[in-house]
A and B are shown apart, each in its own frame.
Chain A
């Protein structure tokens, strides 16, 4: 499968990744080979097969609606690269 620059850029955008030119070139080749290999799946007759999204046959696993104590704020924020006023911080983000 041939992967063009546009597709690599689209995947970078979707993945929030920015590759160097060399990485892009390598990605074109590797992804082309791998996706080409994945295309072997097209030879498989899957007519009428629903598809398995989960290996377990279970269903209906619930928790009851009961409030439990939340975590201490310090533990939740403890790994944050930046915090302020009990909040996580990101660069100015406006809609």
Chain B
């Protein structure tokens, strides 16, 4: 048995049933990281001692009879733009290479209360600006399915880590697709919750009105379980909201109306990606859902509107990095101006600088109305468009990204081309809606994901549909080729020399047999 074939919820159950110890699990995760990191570079900081200590503490709480949560003791990873007190939180940037936050993000506090065991902080595009995890100060992360390719981004480290079996679930952040697209590229499941569903306190801001923390897992149920641990109103984030009570709904998709926007399948979409997404729509239909043709004509305005808003907010959010309070400071500056210039010119990478300058431009006197204000208006029209479509259907099914994972370096010199890759995801952030990604097939040996978009705060319906799909299909169970990490009972008996030492107690039924 390979533990990496189990979901976080299954492993959590093993923990609660005392079939496996938290510390052994943490050791397993650390070992998997040690085995795969040289090829992947998914982690910025591996927390060996901290993880083992946390695992022992969680075990002690469980042994003392604390209920904790379904994911207690299960090793997980967090994107390195989410603050963890005393633990480096770099944003993948030279600017914050040395930064140890003096406080915990709300999501991490909630995870700690729920008995989470953090094993690593994961790699990302610098300040979450990118779709390939290539702009990190700490080098590119590689896709576990093909290490010559990108894992997507900006939560590429988190998605690759879960795909490669380093951790059972992960936190990422999604500003314009940064959870959904890497999940699609790495063949894992992910959710970008409704704006406001999860506290942003402690998420190092890229674009405040678009950023949202979400979860990544091997299947959608893991994502939903992890989301339950972190979501809800937080008095430290004015924009966080308590989830409205959810109506009981039957399992399955019978009777659900799934909107399929024809123009999301048009020019620019790789036919090899379109095919499995269309096939997935048919699978839903076969399971009893009703497919509805819907029109979302404003998609062509979504990318320009998104980049105007995101860059504007980023230019302001990233102004605080000035070499005075924290992080990198340019050396030898004799004047304030020189300190600012050296710090920021040496501390930020080119993509970050580009977006800061774009943001300064669209907000500057004389250009504000034509760019920023226009983008806000486009944003309102896009939100209205979704509102109209959701009178015709319960959710929208679309591709996630125009292509599968591309080669490292392939797009890095063409920022506009890179931006266009966000075509299917950004409007969801502009409108503040929830979106999930699940694997729906392969193209040329690389995973393809589909996106389901729901009404605000109606993650439940998305989870229900995605879970039904995953009950019907096996795409999410496919694993990339990887070096075998000997684990479980087989490992303990057959591969003792490898020293994994992981013992999973048999279930009662297994023992009887």
Contacts and interface: CB of A to CB of B under 8 A. Distances in A.
A–B in direct contact per CB < 8 Å: yes
Interface of A: 7-8, 10-12, 14-19, 23, 26-27, 30-31, 33-35, 37-42, 44, 46, 49-56, 58, 61, 63, 71, 75-76, 78-82, 88-93
A75 B354 contact: no
A49 B375 CA distance: 11
B375 A41 contact: yes
Interface in B52-103: 98-100, 102
Interface in B358-375: 358, 360-362, 364, 370-371, 373-375
A92 B87 CA distance: 33
Contacts, number: 167
- Which of B305, B308, B357, B362 counts the most chain A CB atoms within 10 A? B357
5 contacts: A14-B364, A38-B362, A40-B300, A41-B301, A44-B377
B279 interface: no
Contacts of B325: 79-80, 88
A31 B358 contact: yes
Interface in B304-362: 304-305, 307-308, 315, 319, 322-329, 333-342, 344-345, 348, 350, 353-354, 356-358, 360-362
Interface stretch (B119-127, B173-181, B234-242, B477-485): B234-242
Interface of B: 98-100, 102, 195-196, 209, 235, 238-239, 241, 298, 300-301, 303-305, 307-308, 315, 319, 322-329, 333-342, 344-345, 348, 350, 353-354, 356-358, 360-362, 364, 370-371, 373-381, 383, 415-416, 419, 430-432
Nearest to A46: B377
Given A44-B378, A50-B377, A91 B338 contact: yes
A55 B374 contact: no
B270 to A, nearest CB: 21
A12 B315 CA distance: 12
Contacts of A33: 415-416
A80 to B, nearest CB: 6
B368 to A, nearest CB: 11
B381 A44 contact: yes
B344 A93 contact: no
Contacts of A55: 195-196, 209, 383, 430-432
B378 A46 contact: yes
B354 A27 contact: yes
Nearest to A53: B376
A17 B353 contact: yes
Contacts of B315: 15
A14 B344 CA distance: 12
Contact of A15 (B241, B303, B323, B360): B360
- 4 closest residue pairs by CB, A with B: A55-B432, A51-B376, A79-B326, A81-B329
A38 to B, nearest CB: 4
B417 to A, nearest CB: 10
Nearest to A10: B364
A73 to B, nearest CB: 11
B98 A42 contact: no
